[in-house]
């Protein structure tokens, strides 16, 4: 088993590799991503999920013309996809709600479902939520979970460029 220092080093290397990959793509790409374009992609994903699972959704956005780097866009899409996947697999929900809100310096994504909820006092060993927290960390953001049983809610906040 690797030492804690080795694990920390591995984490730093992964972070640097992801950053370099994102910067490289940003330099090569002519496509600009915005919060609104990310919201459109998530809306399309939720439409497909509604067709196949009968889980309904609402998606709202406010002030979403701000530009996202490829790195931010990629990680946010994976994060929200993971949250949706968790809702489908574990919550028994019938409604997913997503709200994208931009202020001067930050993007806040409020995600919620009306399923069983999660006991936030219990140690959560699920890899999905761990991945969400790691990816938000890569974006220098914060995660705040809310126990609103029935249901689950999480707020993701990242600084914008």
In this predicted model, what pLDDT tens digit does every residue of 94-108 receive, in sequence order?
A: 999 999 999 989 999
Distance CA 152, CA 130 (A): 16
Task: Give the pairing of strands 152-159 and 106-113.
Answer: antiparallel
Q: Is the pLDDT of residue 30 over 60?
A: no
Distance CA 74, CA 76 (A): 6
* Residue 14 confidence (pLDDT): 77
- Among 11-20, 58-67, 120-129, the least confident range: 120-129
Q: How would you class 54 by CB atoms within 10 Å of its CB: exposed for 0-12, middle for 13-18, buried for 19 or more? A: exposed
What percentage of the chain has pLDDT greater than the value 70? 87
Q: Is the pLDDT of residue 113 over 60?
A: yes
């Amino acid at each position: 088993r690797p030492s804690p220092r080795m694990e920390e080093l591995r984490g730093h290397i992964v972070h640097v590799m992801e950053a370099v990959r994102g910067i490289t793509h940003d330099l090569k790409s002519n496509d600009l991503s915005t919060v609104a374009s990310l919201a459109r992609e998530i809306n399309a994903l939720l439409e497909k999920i509604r067709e196949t699972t009968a889980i309904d959704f609402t998606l709202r956005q406010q002030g979403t013309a701000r530009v996202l780097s490829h790195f931010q866009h990629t990680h946010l899409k994976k994060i929200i996809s993971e949250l949706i996947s968790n809702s489908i697999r574990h919550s028994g929900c019938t409604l997913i709600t997503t709200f994208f809100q931009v202020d001067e310096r930050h993007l806040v994504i409020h995600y919620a479902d009306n399923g069983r909820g999660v006991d936030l006092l219990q140690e959560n060993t699920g890899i999905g939520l761990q991945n969400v927290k790691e990816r938000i960390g890569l974006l220098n953001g914060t995660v705040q979970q809310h126990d609103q049983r029935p249901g689950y809610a999480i707020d993701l906040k990242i600084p914008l460029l």
